[in-house]
């Protein structure tokens, strides 16, 4: 009888476990489905939850996709747009009238990110961290009213210390210095390091504190990956270079290879708007953090002859503007698509756009690092190479150092440079900023740099020989690509 009772108890336990498992799967499935993420990402998370019922739930809660509800400072964009409406119309009229697709791309970007086509009086492509930090130092030294910085990574190393000391010097001179850093990417930036800057009167804020307990649901994934520097509202910088010795070839022999963009003119006002919104958000929407007179931060600038457009995206914008901008640019190509990215983890739509372009005769080339700083991302990227090459796309691996540039040159009149990688995280999770260039100026600069970088690269052969376990690892990494 005892044996029978024991068996009955075990059956009851199994029954309740089965019921609990079924309820868990239903609840978790509904939760994940309501996030309305990419179908592949949704399926990946569902499989993970099923395989790891408790651990997977915790991981999804902290690291899974979310949508941020962030109130933009609408008055900034509306007032800035009204001040530039006349010049915007003049600039739009200068776009090549015979290139309808260029107009369509510009219109799409404006609708998705709310930034109109603007112009720059000056533009300079900065190659390498040393050239970038030299230009930044020069611009900061010349600032007379304010210096605004927003960085994903700001390290307390030699490069970071030199910039900190310069910023402190400018703050003591009466220049308003505001530094916004990502709490996770710049986690090494402690009070001791920041003290000279704060003592000089500068202001420092952190974007999305990632410590558990600071929020009901920590925003581990939602980082500001933006790199922005604005001086006096007239000179601006953005691109891939962070403030760290790892990107300064004068200090680090194998520094990351990267590019940055310096701009002057009206386009800087829109870069400034991005910073202002992020600054106010990081400071809990404190209205005192913004000037009553926008002219203090958004001075009037003359129209230039270089047509440009700022585009941003982040989890607070369901239109995924940068992702749409890349797809629109690729689909608009008639001659060439030259893409440089350190992390290549395309969506199915992006992969189809690249292969379709190649199949219709467009010169499609993709440049990635031979070895990135993430083995999993490198493996995932390589899993796409054979499919790309089979469709005529030429894939190259940069060998000189870690390639960190994020650029796209399409035909002769369209270009993109900024902070966004060609992957899920940049397209759908991080706060990113890019600059679109219409016309030959930015396009030629990026195309020339692309060709220069190819000299330090090797073409990836079709079905390159790999060991069995390497092929398995690459394929497994591809399955996790929506989660990277």
Residues labelled as active-site residues: 225, 227, 232, 404, 406, 411
Beta-bridge partner residues of 119? 307
Whether 375 contacts 404, CB under 8 Å: no
User: SS in 3 state form for the chain?
Assistant: CHHHHHHHHHHHHHHHHHHHHHHHHHHHHHHHHHCCCCHHHHHHHHHHHHHCCCHHHHHHHHHCCCCCCCCCCHHHHHHHHHHHHHHHHHHHHCCCCCCHHHHHHHHHHHHHHCCCCEEECEEEEEECHHHHHHHHHHHHHHCCCEEEEEECCECCCHHHHHHHHHHHHHHHCCCEEEEEEECCCCCCCCHHHHHHHHHCCCEEEEECCCCCCCCCCCCCCCCECCCEEEECCCEEEEECCCECHHHCCCCCCCCCECEEEEEECCHHHHHHHHHHHHHHHHCCCCHHHCCCCHHHCCCCCCCCCEEEEEEEECCCCCCCHHHHHHHHHHHHCCCEEEEECCCEECCHHHHHHHHHHHHCCCEEEEEEECCCCCHHHHHHHHCCHHHHHHCCCEEEEECCCCECCCEEEECCCEEEEECCCEEHHHHHHCEEEEEEEECHHHHHHHHHHHHHHHCCEEECCCCCCCCHHHHHHHHHHHHCHHHC
* CA pair distance 283, 278, nearest whole angstrom: 9
Whether 304 contacts 472, CB under 8 Å: no
């Amino acid at each position: 009888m005892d044996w029978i009772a024991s068996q009955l108890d075990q059956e009851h336990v199994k029954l309740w476990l089965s019921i609990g498992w079924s309820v868990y799967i239903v609840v978790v499935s509904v939760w994940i489905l309501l996030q309305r993420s990419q179908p592949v990402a949704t399926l990946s998370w569902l499989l993970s939850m099923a395989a790891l019922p408790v651990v997977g739930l915790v991981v999804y809660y902290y690291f899974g996709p979310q949508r941020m509800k962030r109130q933009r400072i609408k008055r900034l964009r509306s007032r800035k747009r009204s001040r530039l409406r006349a010049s915007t119309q003049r600039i739009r009229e200068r776009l090549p009238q015979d290139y309808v697709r260029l107009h369509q791309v510009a219109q799409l970007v404006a609708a998705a990110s709310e930034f109109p086509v603007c112009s720059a009086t000056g533009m300079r492509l900065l190659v390498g961290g040393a050239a970038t930090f030299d230009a930044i130092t020069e611009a900061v030294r010349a600032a007379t009213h304010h210096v605004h910085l927003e960085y994903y990574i700001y390290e307390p190393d030699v490069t970071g210390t030199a910039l900190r000391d310069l910023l402190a010097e400018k703050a003591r001179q009466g220049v308003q210095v505001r530094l916004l850093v990502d709490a996770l990417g710049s986690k090494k930036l402690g009070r001791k390091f920041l003290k000279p800057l704060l003592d000089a009167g500068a202001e420092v804020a952190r974007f999305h504190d990632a410590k558990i307990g600071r929020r009901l649901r920590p925003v581990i994934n939602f980082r500001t990956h933006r790199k922005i520097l604005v001086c006096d509202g007239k000179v601006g910088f953005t691109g891939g270079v962070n403030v760290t010795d790892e990107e300064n070839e004068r200090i680090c022999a194998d520094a990351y290879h990267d590019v940055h963009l310096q701009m002057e003119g009206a386009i800087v006002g829109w870069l400034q708007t991005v910073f202002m919104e992020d600054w106010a958000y990081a400071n809990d929407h404190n209205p005192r953090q913004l000037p009553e007179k926008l002219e203090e931060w958004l001075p009037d600038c003359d129209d230039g002859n270089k047509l440009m457009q700022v585009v941003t995206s982040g989890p607070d914008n369901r239109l995924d503007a940068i992702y749409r901008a890349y797809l629109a640019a690729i689909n608009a190509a008639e001659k060439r698509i030259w893409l440089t990215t350190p992390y290549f983890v395309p969506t199915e739509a992006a992969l189809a756009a690249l292969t379709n372009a190649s199949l219709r005769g467009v010169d499609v080339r993709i440049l990635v690092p031979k070895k990135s700083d993430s083995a999993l991302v490198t493996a995932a990227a390589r899993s796409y190479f054979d499919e790309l090459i089979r469709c005529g796309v030429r894939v190259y691996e940069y060998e000189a150092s870690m390639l960190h540039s994020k650029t796209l040159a399409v035909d002769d009149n369209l270009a993109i440079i900024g902070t966004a990688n060609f992957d899920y995280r940049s397209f759908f999770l991080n706060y990113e900023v890019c600059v679109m260039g219409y016309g030959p100026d930015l396009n030629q600069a990026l195309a020339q740099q692309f060709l220069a970088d190819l000299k330090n690269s090797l073409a990836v052969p079709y079905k390159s020989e790999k060991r069995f376990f390497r092929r398995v690892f690459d394929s497994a990494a591809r399955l996790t690509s929506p989660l990277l």
